[in-house]
Structure 1
Amino acid sequence: MRAELLHALRDPGGAGERVRGVPRAGVLLRTDWWRSYFDEGYVREYEPLFDLAEDRRQVGRLIELLQLPSGARVADIPCGQGRHAHLLAEAGYDVDGLDLSAHLLALAKRRGTGRTLRYRRGDMRRLPAAWTGRFDAVLNLFSSFGFFADARDDARVIGEFARVLKPGGVLVWQGGSRDGVMARFLPSDWWTTADGTVIAQDREFDPVSGFLTIKSLWQGRRGTERREHRIRLYTATRMAELMLEAGLVVEQAWESFTRKPLTRRSSEMLLLARKEP
């Protein structure tokens, strides 16, 4: 869930009119929803966000922030369908992408692989042992964090990112900011995909667990389908604490991929944290 516009804020329909029949968000039946969610349906659901021009803009901003030489080793975790990884490889970096979704990895590989671009399947809580101290930069983009039922797993993920970084390497983390999301929370919205399918979402936030639960209803030529996922939202303060506990010090905080400093009303944030020598 990698989202330039966090799901809780997206209102492509403009007026935010609800489509009847969207179930209210409630208790998620499967805590491991992420094992099967990132499939063809995910790609269709968030199709409006997957734009090559926007991908190029984001990668341009990443290159500006990273300030790394050609050939530097970069890990994109999770890499999804390779939207950022293949552009970073084109820009001259040596890139490894890791994702748990076989479907998204297949899409990523269709974009191309090679000597400086490799993909593998894996769980970001347990990165390959051989990756220890390998990377100049690790990227965690598109709200790809906070999936797990146990919040300690989120801390483990940050710890794994720190482990695979070289001393002095940087983590770029981009995702939703709990403060900004709550300030501009939309409980429901809807939009239409390219094939005419209407997708409506209802959302509910639990302030104790920090989970934002999103229930989607699809209505189109293929019939009706319901999908559900959830993500734990963090404040910038808590993210900085998690990173510091792993030996990463936040040096920069931005409003997503923009050049605007992060504020309490920013719905998305981009944090750049450096591994201590």
Structure 2
Amino acid sequence: MNNNTTKWFKSWFDKPFYHILYKDRDDTEARAFMDTLTNYLNIPEHGTILDLACGKGRHARYLNKMGYDVTGVDLSANSIDFAKKFENNSLRFEVHNMCQPYHKQFDAVFNLFTSFGYFEKDEDNLSTIKAIKANLNDFGFGVIDFMNSEFVIDNLVPEEVKTVDGITFNLKRYVDKGYIIKDILFTADGEDYNFQERVKAFTLADFETMFEAADVHLLDVFGDYKLHKFNAKTSERLIMIFK
């Protein structure tokens, strides 16, 4: 495997191909989730939200349109450069490593759409939860929206071919040493590419252990974007609200 896998998220998320492969992600569902979530959390009008690992900022921008003061941070400089075009006096974007606390506190910190569990070192995952806690004000809520690993593993599609914008992506999915792995192979402009996504297959019990170590209190657990209760066997998502 080439060095693209060393810190896979640093190279892959910064590539235009990442955004091509996932361009059909459902914005309508994402927006409905933001509506439901902010309503459930009862975030104050013009409240402050940190969107952690915001990518190109699509959720941050929608939250801002809803009237919130939003800061989006991400490790990918290319994504942040793109997002910065949409900045205004209540929407800002910055390159930031989520293992470290940001220099402000917020009414809510959102870590959405499985933007967690990338790190090789367990302490980096724990540091991220501690950083989220540090970034919450006295009334603030943290939200981690993760995949339900058990459901994903039970329903893994081992091989898939997907053609987007004339690029044929060959996807292979498997579980190895506690990680859910996706190999992504494709050819573009006569060059062969080989990337890999690796996400730790954390369960609710794993998060509970990390929350305890970070002195964080888990308040609620949901299993989908409509905030139905979590079921380890049937839920597609693992959405945790904590403070």
Structure-2-length-normalised TM-score: 0.91
Deviation at 1:241, TM superposition (A): 2.4
Contact 1:55 1:83 in 2 (8 A): no
Contact 2:8 2:195 in 1 (8 A): no
Deviation at 1:65, TM superposition (A): 2.3
> Which residue is equivalent to 1:267?
236
Deviation at 1:27, TM superposition (A): 9.9
SS in 2 for 1:147: coil
> Which residue is equivalent to 1:214?
182
Q: Hey, what's the Cα distance between the residues in 2 that align with 1:42 and 1:28?
A: 17
> Which residue is equivalent to 1:123?
97
Q: Hey, what's the Cα distance between the residues in 2 that align with 1:47 and 1:219?
A: 18
Question: Relative to structure 1, is the Cα distance of residues 29 and 198 closer, same or farther in structure 2, using a 3 angstrom cutoff?
Answer: closer
Unaligned stretches of 5+ in structure 1?
A: 1-25
> Which residue is equivalent to 1:18?
none
Where has structure 1 moved over 6 Å in runs of 4 or more? 26-29
Deviation at 1:107, TM superposition (A): 2.1
> Which residue is equivalent to 2:58?
83
Q: Hey, what's the Cα distance between the residues in 2 that align with 1:119 and 1:27?
A: 31
SS in 2 for 1:200: strand
Q: Does 1:102 align with 2:77?
A: yes
> Which residue is equivalent to 1:40?
16
Unaligned stretches of 5+ in structure 2?
A: none
Deviation at 1:224, TM superposition (A): 4.1
Deviation at 1:202, TM superposition (A): 0.7
Contact 2:222 2:240 in 1 (8 A): yes
SS in 1 for 2:24: helix
Question: Relative to structure 1, is the Cα distance of residues 225 and 32 closer, same or farther in structure 2, using a 3 angstrom cutoff?
Answer: closer
Contact 1:202 1:216 in 2 (8 A): yes
Contact 1:74 1:137 in 2 (8 A): yes
Deviation at 1:62, TM superposition (A): 2.0
Q: Hey, what's the Cα distance between the residues in 1 that align with 2:190 and 2:23?
A: 17
Deviation at 1:52, TM superposition (A): 3.2
Q: Hey, what's the Cα distance between the residues in 1 that align with 2:204 and 2:72?
A: 25
Contact 1:31 1:149 in 2 (8 A): no
Q: Describe the superposition over 1:47-97 as per-residue Cα deviations: whole angstroms up to 9, x where unpaired.
A: 121x43233222212222221111211100011111110111111111111
Q: Hey, what's the Cα distance between the residues in 2 that align with 1:85 and 1:205?
A: 32
Contact 1:76 1:95 in 2 (8 A): yes
Q: Does 1:163 align with 2:160?
A: no
Q: Hey, what's the Cα distance between the residues in 2 that align with 1:220 and 1:28?
A: 19
Deviation at 1:191, TM superposition (A): 1.9
Q: Hey, what's the Cα distance between the residues in 2 that align with 1:186 and 1:30?
A: 21
Structure-1-length-normalised TM-score: 0.80
> Which residue is equivalent to 2:6?
31
Task: Give the AA of the match of 2:220.
Answer: Q
Give identity over the alignment, percent.
27
Question: Relative to structure 1, is the Cα distance of residues 244 and 170 closer, same or farther in structure 2, using a 3 angstrom cutoff?
Answer: farther
Deviation at 1:28, TM superposition (A): 8.0
Q: Hey, what's the Cα distance between the residues in 2 that align with 1:258 and 1:190?
A: 30
Q: Hey, what's the Cα distance between the residues in 2 that align with 1:246 and 1:106?
A: 32
Deviation at 1:259, TM superposition (A): 3.1
Show the 5 A alignment for 1:193-232.
193=164, 195-206=165-176, 209-219=177-187, 224-232=192-200
